[in-house]
Chains A and B, each alone.
Chain A
Amino acid sequence: MSRGQIPQTLFGRFAALAVVSFICLSAAADPSDSTAQTSSSWFDSLKNVFGWSFDGQAYSYGEGLARTPKSVLNPGNSIVSLPNVTVTGELRPNAQVTSEFADLVLKPRLTSVYEGGGGLDEETLRGYLNEGYVRGKPTDEISVVAGRQLLTWGPAFFRSPSNPYYFDNARLDPIRELSGIDVTRLVYSPSSNWTLSGGYVFDSGHDLIANDAYRQSMMLKVDYRGVNYLGSLIIASLRHQQVFIGGYAQGTPNDAILLYGEFGSSSNKSGLDISPTDSVGDYTAGVDTGRQAMALLGGSYTFENGQSVYLEYLYNGFGYSAKGERKYFRQAGVANTQAMLGGGLGGLGLENLGYAATRADDLLGRHYVYVQFQNSQSDGGTLWRVMAAENLEDLSTQLSFYVEYNLAPRVSLFALGVANLGAHGSEFGALFRESLTAGLKIFVF
């Protein structure tokens, strides 16, 4: 078993300084504390200055996964290393302390993960700060937020083209939690209609990634909100990439319909190029894709009983056309054969499969449709959601469902099932056929 290290980085020192600053700032915000009524206790005085809220959940769940037999991209599970079984225990406490001039938010996490099967037998224990930041409120219109936080925005479910930091917004997996990034930003809201925010991203948070494009980047966001519509424009400078330009808009024409769209434009210097000629050759990694665009259009309808249906279409400029996808998998097939031969050719084959696998976390195609049907997420009973995503280039489909059932006031049973339909040489059919995750969510406090 390997133990995760709790990082003692510059950020950790900054966080400690932020906490001390917060306490000092809040204490200074109410000098009348020093002249509080003699009959008030210290704790009563504290309650007059601070508000606080705590909540925390504990998760315990297991996942079983059935890999695609004779996978072209992942022969013998040697490239992507998908476990047959994963068992996870998580503690997710959240704390918030508020005052007139500053707020403090802390979301530490403790995670224990066992992965087995498929050549894996590994247990990992990690403690980390998923989010932790201070929000200073020097005036009613201005706030300064510093620390590790989620920079998520936009109305879309399937993906977020308007967000350079969180294109995959994890909405399709209700169990998964996004990681915060280290950023300082200034938010200025001169009125209820306008909000202007600018920020400097220091790092990508606890999930540090080598050659991270987010590191040392700047972002600017302008929001305008009307009575039943809003729009936003985002500009971000990312390292070694062209400037990101994006935006989103949504409108509520009546109490049942929601319409929305997102777009984003940037480049990717880590693109994967398939052989430029018609013959099958090698992949070329680290290719500059040039500026490409992504766009999403979507809408939802809410029925009288609170159930909602969502429909989204995504255009992914970084993806392959149908012809490009066929060639991608044809090249992977050749690499697969080479890998099985062993020797020098086998090494080349494994190298090419490794390159192909770098696309495993990205969307492969150019056109997608996404549908979601769910009940009211604010109701007190069983929560459920069914989802379907289809790659319109290769016609592969991913079906999934999520259900959360109340066993007791503090205990829920949940399940997430995923089924991939498609040929071996298709995006959703390439790596695994189905998976089932089930477990308990305990509302600790």
Chain B
Amino acid sequence: MKTLTQFGRRVVLGGLVALPVFVTSVAQADDAADAIVKQADPARGGGLAGIAWNIRLVSSGSDDATDGDRDLMVKANTTESVAETLSPVRFRGTKLLQADKNMWLTRPGLSKPIPISPRQRLSGLAANGDIAATNYANDYNATLLREEAVGGEACYVLDLVAKSHSATYDRITYWVSKQRHVALQAQFLAVSGKLLKSATFEYGNTIQADGKAIPFISRMTITDSLTPARTVMDYSNVQAQNIPRSAFDVGSLQ
């Protein structure tokens, strides 16, 4: 058996020293990426103890008969949300409850809430997870890809990979403003990497949280990757508030 030369021993020794440094730096980079995502979540409702808002949802550009306006009232906390449809009149009273990854739908006339899978769409291109508070820091592992500008604003570009199969999307490419710490753009991908749809975000609202004013989402525009279909969600009447547990109890949903 050949023994290592002096040079070889130096290479191995150097590798043994460099490996933990490399692993640590990668871990630190991932921690930094997770921190960026966590910092961006509150502007979309994530990480807040309780919040309520109205959403006007307009879908267009597809042959699907679901095109049209829909007004929702949403209440959410860190892991739960309930969205009640206010208009159109035929859907008034319809409620969608999301508690972690458990979901129920009810509407006037139903004998009891129906458990549904996350694949059930709400309307247009909006998934049920889009109207609720966003907790990407809990649901995804983040990796920093690069930095680039969006609309002249410097952004971190992150790769978010779902921690479990029950996340709304398998993979997201996420642009977060370096200055404002809010998400400006997202691409939602299948596990294969195929682009499903894209979204842009605007932050014209402000809410008070932890004693300070933070920007809050005012518009989310979702576009389909293959068709001209488009869904615009406008957020209004945003209030950080205490929401009792009964609001998220499926037994009290109807």
Contacts and interface: CB of A to CB of B under 8 A. Distances in A.
A225 B109 contact: no
Category for how many chain B residues contact A: 35 or more
B74 to A, nearest CB: 13
Nearest to A150: B254
Contacts of A250: 102, 115
Describe A's contact surface by its main secondary structure: loop
B119 A255 contact: yes
Category for how many chain A residues contact B: 35 or more
Contact of A55 (B80, B93, B102, B164): B93
Interface string A129-141: 0000001010111
A263 to B, nearest CB: 17
A260 interface: yes
Interface in A25-58: 53, 55, 57
Given A192-B248, A228-B166, A302-B116, A166 B111 contact: yes
Interface string B100-113: 11110101111110
Given A145-B252, A228-B101, A378 B120 contact: yes
A256 B122 CA distance: 15
Interface string B223-253: 0000000000000000000101110111110
A187 B123 contact: no
B25 interface: no
A187 B91 CA distance: 29
Interface string B60-103: 00001111101000000101100010101111111010011111
Contact of A412 (B90, B92, B117): B90
Interface string A149-193: 010111100000000001001110010111000000001010010
Contacts of A229: 102
A261 B180 CA distance: 48
Contacts of A174: 109-110
A308 to B, nearest CB: 7
Interface stretch (A60-68, A320-328, A379-387, A420-428): A379-387
Given A225-B100, A376-B120, 12 more contacts: A53-B86, A143-B249, A150-B112, A174-B110, A192-B77, A223-B251, A252-B117, A252-B166, A260-B115, A377-B105, A378-B121, A409-B89
| Closest 3 pairs (CB-CB, A-B) | A381-B65, A152-B112, A228-B101
Interface of A: 53, 55, 57, 92, 94, 135, 137, 139-141, 143, 145, 150, 152-155, 166, 169-171, 174, 176-178, 187, 189, 192, 195, 197, 223, 225-230, 250, 252-258, 260, 300, 302-304, 306, 308, 376-382, 406, 409-410, 412, 443, 445
